[in-house]
Amino acid sequence: MGAHPLAGAVVAVVGASGALGALLARSAAARGATVVLVGRDEQRLRSVLDGAEVVVGDLADATLGDRLVETARGSHGRLDGVVNAAGVVAFGPLVDTDDAVLEELFFTNVVGPLFLLRRVLPALTESKGFLVNLSAVVAEQPMAGMAAYSASKAALTAADRALTRELRRVGVDVLDVRPPHTETGLAGRALAGEAPRLAEGLDPQVVADAVLDAVEAGRGELSSSDFG
């Protein structure tokens, strides 16, 4: 992955209404990026960064990427990077997990990001830009009681690894990030089940800084062990 300085770049943060996404958006702006905020909660999006362009929508909506590109190009002339920090989690044995929960896990964590990439890729190819996907440690270390969530994140990481090679020829870089448990509050907003007892997680700001450092340094992945 080539280095991508954030100063002067136009960067979309997907999931910017969430705890980690909001920090990524603010931190990217602090490094000089023009940030486009993407998420489901318009009110929360508008509280993240004053004056930032906002695109409201769900990753399961295949048109979200089209609207993102239209907004970025219409307001800023280009799109240099996309950071996908959206995600959902569910806990419990697979046999007790409803079909609707499985569907939402995979639509939000895998299918939606692929829908999005298909539509933003021409703009990223034009700018020789970058894509970041926030996967998770369970992509490396699947956990009992989290089979569906682990599978969804492993699928996202597999897609990132394939896309790293597939997109090299068009000059688009891919960064896969697999942080350990992070104190974003996501575990308390599970689609189903209750989180197991977890050790204290990482500070979300530490994760946000590591992600943006990796973008600017040109790293191709951040594994769980890279977070210490």
Q: State pLDDT tens for residues 170-209.
A: 999 999 999 998 888 888 888 898 888 877 888 999 999 9
Per cent of the chain over pLDDT 70 is 100
Q: Of 91, 106, 130, 149, which residue is the catalytic one?
A: 149
Q: Judge whether 187 lies within some domain.
A: yes
Of residues 188 and 92, which shows the higher confidence score? 92
Helical spans, DSSP H, in the chain: 19-30, 42-46, 64-76, 99-106, 112-127, 147-166, 204-217
| pLDDT above 90 (res 109) | yes
Q: 30 lies in a domain?
A: yes
DSSP state of 195: P
Is 205 a member of any domain? Answer: yes
Q: Tokens for 157, please give them.
A: 């990481």
Task: Name the domain count of the chain.
Answer: 1
Q: Is residue 217 part of a domain?
A: no
Segments forming the whole domain that contains residue 160: 10-211
pLDDT at 200: 81
User: Does the annotation mark 88 as catalytic?
Assistant: no
CA distance 147 to 92: 8
Average pLDDT for 103-129? 97
